[in-house]
Amino acid sequence: MALLAYAVVVGRRQPWHGYFDLTVYRGAARWWLGGRQLYSFVRPHTVAFGFTYPPFALLCLLPVALVPLTAAAAGLTALSALLVLVTTAWLVVPLADRHGWSRWSAVAVAVPLVLAMEPVRETLGWGQVNLILVALVLADVRALSRGSRWAGVGIGLATAIKLTPGLFVVYLALSGRVRAAATAAATFAAATLLAWLVDPSASARFWTDGLWQVTRVGRPDRTENQSLFGALTRLVEPAPPDRRLWFVLAGVVLAVGMGRAVQAARRGDELTGVTLTGVVSCLVSPISWNHHLYWVVPATVVLVDVAAGVPLHPTAPAWLRERPRAVARAAGAAATTLVAAFGGSLIWLFARPQGARANGGVLGVLGENAYVLIMIALVLLLPVRELSGAAPSSARSSARARPAGSSPR
């Protein structure tokens, strides 16, 4: 199936993009090392593509400026591929144990499918850092499950590198993990302060001006932008979108999605809670490129778990809990849909030139915004599971922390 997905995508849209984003990171770092202002950098042969991450991200990316581009690309690709293996194993091994499957077989099947899904494939092709951020967040999920005192450090670092993971700090706080939320906030503050001490002018420019220059990363109406704002922009172009309407839509998604995420955490289903938080962050951010949508991967894992027989939480509606076979079939169909849509790059069947009206009328509009619609469906419908032996988040947060050596890192 993974090979078929690759064949379909390569025939319609090349999965490799010349490590474009990596060349932006590398060019900005070399520009800065030459004594120039970081946020005045623009990638050669473009008119607007510059460095858009917080200054701390530059410090983390300095190694790519110190080696040839080929070595930087090889190193980032190897690291990202390794993280795909590690994070996929973290996600699927618990399923294998619950259902009596071979761990090795489960990972061997899952890794190619994950690599074939568009967010992961595009991250590798663009030379993006998304998989590193995902690994930091998921490492904190494991740290939380083990009662580690270091839980929150990964999310704090991810937020200092790229601001959107900051919603996970809110998730921790709302779900009762106040210590982990405080650790994440303190880590973010320390990393940001370090960057400020290294280059005060760059930090001042980012936090007062660069943070708000959304168009520096590309036009929001591009098909790749699968956020609520991107969908709204495409629907009303060439007129500008009504930002009041966007605020209302984003606010509703934020309230509903985070409410469900917190409920999932409190009911012992951490993976569903984290997944919902990640999906919400993609929807409410003004720019969410297709390679940002990694959270459909753990959503698929949750759905496969339910399809394999894990029951819904007792708080689910009775009419659903009384129909476990129908729920399992629906979850299996939903998981298959996610793999097919993101493995086959569904939106590119309906893509049109920038500024042009959507092709195919209503079907074209729905198709080009398919990932947005899928993520909205996940916010509303992703199931909360009954995981025997899983303590609710409030119990975990009050449990005595294990020794630091128990941390997975």
> Do residue 167 and residue 249 come from a single domain?
no
Is there a single domain that holds both residue 140 and residue 225? no
Determine the structural domain holding residue 120 and report its residue range: 1-211
Greater pLDDT, 43 or 225: 225
Residue 6's pLDDT band (cuts 50, 70, 90) = very low
Q: Does residue 185 sit in the same domain as residue 288?
A: no
Query: CA 25, CA 184: separation in Å to the nearest integer?
Result: 25
Tell me, yes or no, whether 225 and 203 share the same domain: no
* pLDDT above 60 (res 396): no
Nearest to 145 by CA among 178, 118, 112, 180: 180
Quick one: 207 exposed, middle or buried, by C-beta within 10 A (0-12, 13-18, 19+)?
middle
Residue of higher predicted confidence among 248 and 18: 248
Q: What mean pLDDT value characterizes the chain?
A: 89
Mean pLDDT of 75-89: 97
Residues 266 and 195 in one domain: no
Final residue of a domain: which of 211, 239, 264?
A: 211
Q: How many residues does the chain have?
A: 409
Specify whether 96 is located in the same domain as 231. no
Same domain, 153 and 71: yes
Q: pLDDT (tens digit, 9 = 90+) per residue, 197-233?
A: 999 999 999 998 876 666 566 688 899 999 999 999 9
Query: Is the pLDDT at 2 greater than 60, yes or no?
Result: no
- Region at 75 (left for phi over 0; alpha for psi -120 to 50; beta for the rest): alpha
Token output for 155:
């999310």
Enumerate the β-bridge partners of residue 385. 312
More confident residue, 159 or 217: 159
Do 224 and 138 share a structural domain?
A: no
Q: Of 174-183, 225-234, 360-369, 383-392, which range is least confident?
A: 383-392
Contact 135, 299 (CB under 8 A): no
pTM of the model: 0.91
pLDDT band at 355 (very low <50, low <70, confident <90, very high): low
| Overall average pLDDT of the 125-139 stretch | 97
312 belongs to a structural domain: yes
Say which DSSP state 267 is in. Answer: T
Instruction: Please choose, from the candidates 33, 19, 122, 130, the residue with its C-alpha nearest in 3D space to the C-alpha of residue 74.
Output: 19
Report which residue type is found at 341.
A
Alpha helices in 146-177 (DSSP H): 153-161, 167-174
Spatial separation of the C-alpha atoms in residues 241 and 219, rounded to whole Å: 13
The secondary element (H helix, E strand) that includes residue 359 is none
Q: Contact 160/60 with Cβ under 8 angstroms?
A: no
Rounded Cα distance, 118 and 348, in Å? 11
Q: How many Å apart are CA 161 and CA 135, to the nearest integer?
A: 13
Which region among 19-23, 278-282, 335-339 has the lowest average model confidence (pLDDT)?
19-23
At residue 65, does pLDDT exceed 70?
Answer: yes
Q: Are residues 180 and 281 in the same domain?
A: no
Of 372, 294, 301, the residue nearest 130 (C-alpha): 294
Residue 325 buriedness (CB in 10 A; 0-12 / 13-18 / 19+): exposed
Question: Residue 312: beta bridge partners?
Answer: 385
How many domains does the structure of the chain reveal? Answer: 2
Q: Which two tokens stand for residue 358?
A: 């959507």
407 within domain boundaries: no
Q: Mind listing the pLDDT tens digit for each residue in 286-310?
A: 999 999 999 999 999 999 999 999 9
Sign of torsion over alpha carbons 202, 205, 207, 210: negative
Of the pLDDT bands very low, low, confident and very high (cuts 50, 70, 90), residue 74 is very high
Does residue 385 contact residue 270 with C-beta atoms inside 8 Å? no
Is 79 contained in some domain? Answer: yes
Exposure string for 240-273, b = 16+ CB within 10 A, e = fewer: ebeeeebeebbeebbeebbebbbbbbbbbbbbbb
Question: Contact 22/64 with Cβ under 8 angstroms?
Answer: yes
Q: Flag whether 276 is in a domain.
A: yes
Determine what percent of the chain is predicted with pLDDT higher than 70. Answer: 87
The whole-angstrom separation of Cα 98 and Cα 310 is 9
Q: What integer pLDDT is reported at residue 361 of this predicted model?
A: 81
Q: What average pLDDT does the segment 352-373 reach?
A: 79
Structure tokens at 335: 């998981």
Say which residues have a Cβ less than 8 Å from residue 123's Cβ, sequence separation at least 6. 80, 130, 131, 291, 294
**Residue with more model confidence, 191 or 42:** 191
Q: Which of 188, 211, 234 is the last residue of a domain?
A: 211
pLDDT of residue 18: 84
Q: Are residues 257 and 165 located together in one domain of the fold?
A: no
* 129 shares its domain with 272: no
Tell me whether residue 405 is in a domain. no
Look up residue 348 and give its DSSP letter: G
